[in-house]
Structure 1
Amino acid sequence: MPNYLDALMVGQRQIASLAVHTPQEHSQLASRPGAQRTRLLGLLTTALQSDSPLVYFVESLGTQLGADACLLLGYHLETQHIVVSRWAAGLSTQQWQISAAVLTESTRYQHQLALATLQALQEGDPSWSCSSENLFTLLQDQPWWQELESQQVVPVYTMPIAEGVIVLMRRPGPAALLPKDLTDELASLGALALHHHELQQQARRSIEQLRYVNHLKDDFLSTLSHELRTPLTSMMLAIRMLRRSDLTPERKAMYLDILEQQCSQETALVNDLLTLRTLETSPEPVSTIVINLNQFLSRLVAEQRSRFAAAHLNLVFEAPTGNLYIESDAVGLSRVLEELLTNAHKYAEARSDIKLSLNSAASGEVIIRLANLGSGIAPEELPHVFDKFRRGQGVTKRAIPGTGTGLALVKGLVARLKGEISVNSQPEREGNLWETVFTLRLAGSAVAKVG
């Protein structure tokens, strides 16, 4: 099986119960309707009700028509996924899917090749050798494909949902073509098989999404319980100590500070949840002003520097000569940057630099980057960094505080500012540290200028 395909290997199946037609019997089937033809259509209809409709479809079709191989190549128009289902006499039936959502350099080529082959076959490719070569490249671990020639090509359309093609193949030799009324019925059943396959894929994706959301919910409730109980425990202890009559004024002031600090932490958590909810349901209108970004960011860094220094982190600000101005919401932008700085503060390696940089692009965009060195973000985690309540692997075991709302808030606030936020995490050439970079681009009505 090609290692570049999003593999979905369907195991070996015993198909001895299906009557295999010889080429002579196939000729009879092609030339006249009857019991054999009724049996074929009945088997194909039954295949639609199975848990693997495309697999049973090509098995039944190829076996009943006495072909050496049968291929169904389908393309779903909305998702742009391509599915390949292949049966060959004496071999296990296989099914692959080339997912448009996770295209790499190699799979992108296979995706384009499959589309070109599909179009050529649908349009009645006059040179079967060309399509055969494309199929051989698509299924490069199957050398026996080169020994086959096209017996019949049946285009399949389920517009506007999907399109595909059924290809019946035999080794070189005489073969009778199927009558048009039969190929029309095969095309209709093939369309139904593609449609049923996509419905099953949608059901699987929905189930996986529900499991993922349920996992996030459980993880969030566990984290929220911890984030709520820890301050409440400290507050309860402080209250009990304040009830003592022998407290000195200094001790009394200390416990009052604890109460105020923990109460502020609880209030901030509740406010974060309410803000996140507001951004999702009824975002407030943005009030914009002209901001001198050099001064704005310099002031923010100055306010945060002592907090970073206490954690043995060096906060550095880099900006071009002159001043960059932008029209935006100062409160929202400040909240975005504070959340990103808080995130860097949590995950950066001690005694490392955290760099906040400001630049402008030729298009007029303002680009703000925040880079830090630390444990990094795994590639499979990158697409989910801004998901609500999502936290990185192992953060709970490492006792890193948080509820998974900070970066979700960043994403919502940036969208409100009509900007874009992205993240990249790459290992350093030396050592075990990774550089994680958040890039904020402010565009749209924002205009950057140097002055």
Structure 2
Amino acid sequence: MLEAENITLEEKLEYIAVVKNRTKRLQSLLNDFFELSVIESPDYPLTTEKLGLTALISDIVVEFYDAFNERGITPDIRLPEGNASVYADESAVRRVVENLLANTAKYASGQVDIRLELQQETVDLTIINDAKELAGSDVNLLFDRFYTADRARSAQTSGLGLPIAKSLMNNMGGTLTAELDGDKLMLVCRWKKAKGQ
């Protein structure tokens, strides 16, 4: 289309913008696929240490203040008074939580609940938000690297944030699950609680 002689300068600029956007999207997709393949490799390095989740989660949530504010979302955040400790890799935990909050900030509407809770044997991070566009069968596919619930979403991102988060949780010996309760999507990260709590 750019090689056609009968197009205006304005049309040429529009086509160039489309090419640039598609190229950026392809680069992002390739980077995310590469990162996912590295994370899923058995040699992926993790440094497991005793990690206080309460302060870390609090810091990460604060980083998303502007993103939530732009969407008109005021999350209800509940953290335990004590420091909930787990054995995990700090950079992997940070990436998992950032991916989940980025996903929530992009697609959530209405109320968002963020809870860090000490259970008998685990520490659970639960993020709950309205997700009216998800059908009951969709929730099982959220961690599939080739799945996007909304085709319009795939224009901006690779859709690999949740599969990357799940792989990192698996590598740390934790779990990341999703379930739909009516119109509410609930994402739960679960780590084994550190001894002595």
* TM-score bracket for this pair, using the shorter chain length: 0.7 to 0.9
Number of equivalences: 181
Say if 2:32 and 2:158, in contact at 8 Å, map to a contact too: no
Is residue 71 of structure 2 the alignment partner of residue 311 of structure 1? yes
Given that 2:50 and 2:194 are in contact with CA atoms closer than 8 Å, whether structure 1 keeps it comes out as no
Deviations for 1:114-148, whole angstroms, at most 9, x for unmatched residues? xxxxxxxxxxxxxxxxxxxxxxxxxxxxxxxxxxx
**In 1, distance between residues paired with 2:41 and 2:79?**
36
Partner residue in 2 for 1:441: 190
Aligned partners of 2:195, 2:71: CA distance in 1, in Å? Answer: 34
Aligned to 1:355: 113
Contact preservation (8 Å) 1:376, 1:436:
no
CA distance in 1, matches of 2:20, 2:34: 20
1:335 aligns with 2:95: yes
Q: Does 1:366 align with 2:97?
A: no
Secondary structure class of the residue paired with 2:66? helix
2:166 to 406, 411, 426: 411
Q: Judging changes above 3 Å, is the alpha-carbon distance between structure 1 residues 385 and 374 closer, same or farther for their aligned structure 2 residues?
A: closer
1:365–1:403: structure 2 CA closer, same or farther, 3 Å change rule? Answer: same
Offset at 1:389?
1.6
Q: 1:301 to 1:414 in 2, by over 3 A?
A: same
Give the superposition deviation at 1:269: 4.0
Q: Is the 8 A contact 1:365 1:448 kept in 2?
A: no
Quote the offset at 1:283 in angstroms.
3.9
Higher relative contact order (CA 8 A, sep 6+): 2
Instruction: Please tell me the root mean square deviation across aligned C-alpha atoms, in Å.
Output: 2.6
Distance change >3 Å, CA 288–CA 344, structure 1 → 2: same
Per-residue deviation at 1:376? Answer: 4.7
For the residues of structure 2 that align with 1:421 and 1:329, how far apart are their CA atoms? 15
- CA shift for structure 1 position 357: 0.6
Q: TM-score, normalised by structure 2?
A: 0.80
Instruction: Tell me how far apart the structure 2 counterparts of residues 270 and 367 of structure 1 sit (CA, whole Å).
Output: 32
Query: Structure 2, unaligned stretches of length 5 or more?
Result: 1-16
The answer to whether 1:382 aligns with 2:139 is: yes
Higher helix share: 1
TM-score (norm 1): 0.37
